A and B are shown apart, each in its own frame.
Chain A
Amino acid sequence: MKNITNSFEYFSPKTLEEALKLVSQFDKEGKDFKVVAGGQSINLVMKQGVIAPEAVISIKGLSDMDYVKFDEKAGLKIGALATHRAIERSSVVEKKFGVLAEMEHNLSSVETRNWGTVAGNICHGDPGGDVAPVLIVLNANVKMAGVKGERTVPAEDFTLDFYETALAHDELVTEIQIPTVPPNTGVAYTKFSQVVGDFALASVAVAITLDSKKDICSDVRIGLGSVAATPLRAKKAEEILRGKKITDDLLAKAAQAAMDESDPTDSVDASGEYKRELVGVFVKRVGKEALERAKKA
C-alpha cells in the first residue's frame, strides 16, 4: 500500500496561537490527532498504518518560526520550522557549529532535508534519528509552548522511550537552543549506515573541552544514537575521560564503558551485538577526532 489509507480532518493554522488553541482543544476532546511539520517521518508511519489519526494539524505554514539565528551570548536558535537544509547551508552553523552541518549532509537525501524540519525530527522520537546525539553533546535545550505557557527541557531528556518524547499532547516545540561552544572545545560525529543517507546502525557524537593548557579534558559529552530505546548520553564513558589527559588507552576504556551503556536491539540490518561493536569503534574514532579539533580550537 503506497498511499495513506485512513482519512483525517486537516487543519493548517496560520499562527502559533491558533495552532496551540487547536492542540489544546483536541487534547481536551480526547481526539486522536497528529501535528505535522514537513511530515518526512510521520507520513511514512501513516502510510504503514502504524498511526491513523482523526485529525492532522499541519504547522508547515508557520513561517515566523522558520529561522536560524545566532548571537555570541544567546547561542544558536533554531525555529521549529527551520528545515534540515537551512541548517546545512547556514554560514553561521558552518562556522560555529560545524558538526551540525556535517550531521545534516548525511541525513537522508536533499529532498528530505528540503522539506523536513530539525524540530520535527526530534519530535518523532526515533532512537535512530540523526539529530538528537549531536544536540545532546552540544548541550542543547528544547523549548516548548502550550496555551498555559512555555518550558524548556535539555535535549538529553527530551526523548523518553521509542517514539515517546517529553512533549505533552497539548504542546508544540517552538525552538531548539544551542549555547555557544565553549573555548578549547572540539565536537565530532559519525554515523554508520548500510546505504548513504539511510538510518544509522549506530551513531556517535563526542564533544571534548580541554583546559587552558590544552592538556587535560575538563569536560566531555558523548551522545549515542540507534543503540537504545532513546538517543543516549554515555555518562559512565564520560566519567572515565573527565579530568584526565586523554590517551588512546583511556579512550579505549571509555569506548568499553559506552558499549556497556548501550542496549541495541537486533534488526534486519544488523545484530545488536554488531551495533554494540560499532559503538566501541566509533567512540574511539570520533573521540580522537574531537580531541584533535579541541587542540586546534
Chain B
Amino acid sequence: MKQELKFKVNGEERELWIDPKTLLVEVLREELGLTGTHWSCDTGACCCCTVNVDGMAVKSCSMLAMQAYGREVTTIEGLADGPTLHPLQQAFIDNWAFQCGFCTSGQIMAANALLNENPSPTREQIQLQLDGHICRCTGYNMIQEAIQDAAKRLQKSKV
C-alpha cells in the first residue's frame, strides 16, 4: 500500500505517494526525474548514488525513501544557480576531473558535504571523505585537485 512521503528536494517541497519499499534513488530518478543521481553497484560499495540528506553525504541506493520524510535532500541538480555552475562543478570541468562522468555526481555531492562543514580541507581529509567512491577513469588525483580548487574558489567568492 502506498504511503505519503513529504520532503524537500533541492529546496522545493515535494509530496508524493510511494510504495514504502522504494529506495531514495528510485524516487529521485523515477518519480522526480532527477537522473543526475546515478545508480551503479547495487551493494553500497561504489558511492555513485551519493546525495546530501540534511547536509550529510548518504548513499541513496542504501536508504529507504520513507526515511527522508521531513528531511531535506540535495542532489547534483540542486547545486547550479540557473545557468551558472556551482564552483565544484566548474572546478571538476577545469581540472579534467572526469572522463565518462558516471561517478561524478556522487563525487561532487560527497565533496559538497565536506566543503559545507570544512571549507578548506587538506588533501588527506578529501581522501578520507571520498575513500568509498570508485572511479575507473581519472585515477583520483584530478578529482582531489578539483575539490581543492573548488574550496579556493568558494572561499574567494565569500570574501
A residues contacting B by CB (< 8 A) are 1-10, 12, 36, 38-40, 43-44, 46-47, 56, 58, 60-61, 85, 105, 108-112, 114-115, 196-198
Beta-carbon contact of A43 and B56 below 8 Å: no
Beta-carbon contact of B23 and A105 below 8 Å: no
Beta-carbon contact of A47 and B20 below 8 Å: no
Beta-carbon contact of A111 and B23 below 8 Å: no
Q: Which residues of B contact A36 (CB under 8 A)?
A: 64
- Given A2-B39, A8-B21, A56-B20 in contact, is the A111-B66 Cβ separation under 8 Å? no
Contact digits for B124-138, partner A, Cβ 8 Å, 1 yes 0 no: 000011011100000
Beta-carbon contact of A60 and B67 below 8 Å: yes
Q: How far is the CA of A61 from the CA of B68 in the complex (A)?
A: 10
B20, B43, B69, B128: the one within 8 Å of A8 (CB)? B20
Q: How far is the CA of A43 from the CA of B19 in the complex (A)?
A: 15
- Given A10-B20, A111-B110, A112-B44 in contact, is the A39-B131 Cβ separation under 8 Å? no
Decide yes or no whether B155 CB sits under 8 A from chain A: no
Interface size on B, residues (CB 8 A): 33
Contact digits for B57-68, partner A, Cβ 8 Å, 1 yes 0 no: 111011110110
User: How close is A16's CB to chain B, nearest CB, in angstroms?
Assistant: 18
Q: How far is the CA of A40 from the CA of B60 in the complex (A)?
A: 11
Shortest beta-carbon contacts, A-B, top 5: A109-B132, A10-B20, A114-B56, A4-B21, A111-B59
Beta-carbon contact of B59 and A58 below 8 Å: no
14 example contacts (A-B, Cβ-Cβ < 8 A) are as follows A2-B42, A2-B61, A4-B21, A8-B20, A10-B66, A12-B69, A43-B62, A43-B63, A44-B43, A44-B44, A44-B62, A58-B64, A108-B132, A111-B47
Q: How far is the CA of A1 from the CA of B20 in the complex (A)?
A: 17
Within 8 A of A (CB), among B8-34: 19-23, 26
Q: Which residues of B contact A47 (CB under 8 A)?
A: 42
User: How close is B72's CB to chain A, nearest CB, in angstroms?
Assistant: 14
User: How close is A133's CB to chain B, nearest CB, in angstroms?
Assistant: 21
Q: Which residues of A contact B133 (CB under 8 A)?
A: 109
